């Protein structure tokens, strides 16, 4: 299977142009040349002939990717940019793990990381949808807010289409499918007259009753079909939309704990726990934005209309609230992106109080499995003994949870290099 993967790599021409095209960038080495064609002593310029030359992947490619991504970020972050980076990381990780282990193991590990990152990405979309009116006002996140507005409008249009026609019902919505099958199956429309006839058993029983009995039952009959049944369906659909996430979590991570990898259970539980605290900040932002839009701004306009001057105190309050809203929103979205990129790499991170509660539910990481993910230094016995004796927990456990006791090799080499220079200087002064 490993030989098949090597053959696949040979079939794919992975050069600088291919990598740059993944991110939607142009290769600066591409050259366009126009060659003339001589026919009957006339020189004709043939436009559109391109001679493209692309180099192999190198450090220059990485430099071009960083510069291109920086230029894109200058214009604003979008959901498409986040997706491109995520799938590029996933592809690089898949190749590295396939070389290190084999194709099957690499597929399993990257699939687990993709599922964990998808949980964070869905949470990011929900968060961006809630913050859409605020993100539009922030220059750096303006495009992200526009993406959220478009997603919401598409979702609303799909809901309206489903309500009108019922033709876009999918298999993963069984309640909706049963409802539309029931409502459309009991109705027969005459093609000539256009009259609707109900053909369900209850309707046929009612139609065979006497006129006196029908007059008593018909009111209740239409009330059940036109009001009670749609109301019950709407209540059940809203209840299911609120409960479906918890139900899926319970089935996959609790009932199917034996078959669910630890990385997915850890990140999913962490998301559920922080969701309880997120609501405080989300509603705080909504209340501040409401106070700013419907209290301070009208007062500023009224004061300017009566005195023809601008109240600087009100302007200062509005600007201060803008800074407060921007800081909280950026910190919130930054935390979600931080967790999402840890998940796509198959890693963990430490956040005080939340991680401890998460691991009370999912337990410690199994260190013998290849599919359990990266490092969790805070679960080590030595770290626990050191940190639980303190009043405040340790706030930083290094990048990707690797711990801070053992420094990186690069920093160790740099420290040794600096120490060697100082030793040589001391020897020179001693002489």
What is the pLDDT averaged over residues 310-334?
90
- What span, in angstroms and rounded, lies between the C-alpha atoms of 197 and 188? 5
38 or 279, greater pLDDT = 279
What is the pLDDT averaged over residues 305-332?
88
Count Cβ atoms within 10 A of the Cβ of residue 368 and give its class: 0-12 exposed, 13-18 middle, 19 or more buried. Answer: exposed
The tens digit of pLDDT for each residue in 96-150 reads: 899 888 889 999 999 999 999 999 999 999 898 888 888 888 877 878 888 877 8
Q: Which tokens in the block code for residue 24?
A: 């939607």
Looking from the CA of 37 toward its CB, the CA atoms found within 13 Å total 6
What is the pLDDT averaged over residues 300-329?
87
Instruction: Report pLDDT for 343.
Output: 94
- What span, in angstroms and rounded, lies between the C-alpha atoms of 72 and 230? 48
Confidence of residue 220 (pLDDT cuts 50, 70, 90): confident
C-beta separation of 373 from 263 below 8 A: yes
- Write the CA distances from 425 to 411, 415, 421, 429, integer angstroms: 21, 15, 6, 6
pTM value > 0.75: no
Confidence of residue 324 (pLDDT cuts 50, 70, 90): very high
The tens digit of pLDDT for each residue in 142-190 reads: 788 888 778 777 666 655 555 444 555 555 456 667 767 777 777 777 7
What are the DSSP E strand ranges found in 3-89? Answer: 36-39, 42-45
- What span, in angstroms and rounded, lies between the C-alpha atoms of 403 and 396? 8
Indicate if the pLDDT at residue 34 is higher than 70: no
Round the average pLDDT of the chain to a whole number and report it: 76
Confidence of residue 33 (pLDDT cuts 50, 70, 90): very low
Instruction: Report pLDDT for 145.
Output: 80
């Amino acid at each position: 299977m490993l030989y098949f993967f090597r053959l696949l790599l040979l079939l794919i021409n992975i050069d600088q142009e291919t990598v740059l095209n993944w991110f939607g960038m142009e290769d600066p080495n591409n050259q366009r040349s126009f060659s003339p064609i001589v026919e009957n002593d006339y020189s004709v310029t043939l436009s559109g002939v391109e001679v493209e030359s692309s180099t192999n992947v190198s450090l220059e490619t990485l430099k071009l990717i960083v510069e291109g991504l920086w230029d894109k970020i200058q214009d604003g972050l979008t959901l498409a940019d986040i997706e491109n980076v995520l799938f590029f990381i996933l592809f690089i990780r898949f190749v590295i793990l396939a070389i290190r282990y084999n194709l099957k193991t690499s597929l399993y590990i990257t699939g687990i990381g993709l599922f964990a990152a998808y949980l964070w990405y869905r949470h990011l979309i929900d968060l961006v949808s809630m913050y859409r009116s605020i993100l539009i006002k922030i220059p750096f996140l303006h495009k992200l807010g526009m993406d959220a507005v478009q997603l919401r409008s598409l979702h609303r249009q799909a809901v309206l289409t489903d309500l009108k026609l019922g033709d876009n019902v999918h298999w993963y919505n069984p309640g909706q499918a049963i409802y539309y099958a029931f409502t459309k199956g009991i109705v027969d429309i005459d093609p000539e007259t256009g009259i609707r006839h109900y053909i369900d058993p209850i309707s046929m029983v009612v139609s065979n009753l006497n006129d006196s009995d029908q007059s008593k039952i018909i009111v209740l009959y239409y009330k059940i079909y036109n009001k009670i049944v749609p109301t019950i369906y709407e209540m059940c659909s809203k209840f299911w939309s609120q409960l479906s996430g918890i139900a899926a979590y319970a089935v996959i991570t609790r009932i199917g704990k034996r078959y669910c990898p630890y990385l997915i259970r850890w990140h999913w539980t962490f998301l559920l726990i922080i969701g309880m605290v997120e609501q405080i900040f989300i509603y705080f932002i909504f209340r501040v934005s409401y106070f700013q839009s419907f209290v301070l701004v009208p007062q500023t306009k009224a004061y300017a209309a009566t005195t023809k001057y601008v109240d600087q105190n009100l302007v200062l309050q509005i600007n201060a609230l803008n800074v407060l809203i921007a800081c909280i929103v950026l910190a919130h979205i930054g935390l979600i992106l931080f967790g999402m990129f840890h998940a796509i790499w198959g890693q963990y991170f430490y956040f005080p109080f939340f991680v401890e509660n998460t691991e009370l539910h999912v337990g410690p990481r199994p260190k013998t499995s290849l599919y359990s993910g990266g490092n969790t230094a805070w679960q080590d016995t030595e770290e626990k003994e050191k940190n639980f004796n303190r009043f405040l927990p340790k706030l930083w456990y290094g990048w990707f949870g690797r711990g801070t006791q053992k420094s990186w090799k690069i920093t160790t080499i740099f420290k040794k290099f600096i120490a060697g220079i100082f030793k040589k200087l001391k020897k020179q002064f001693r002489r």
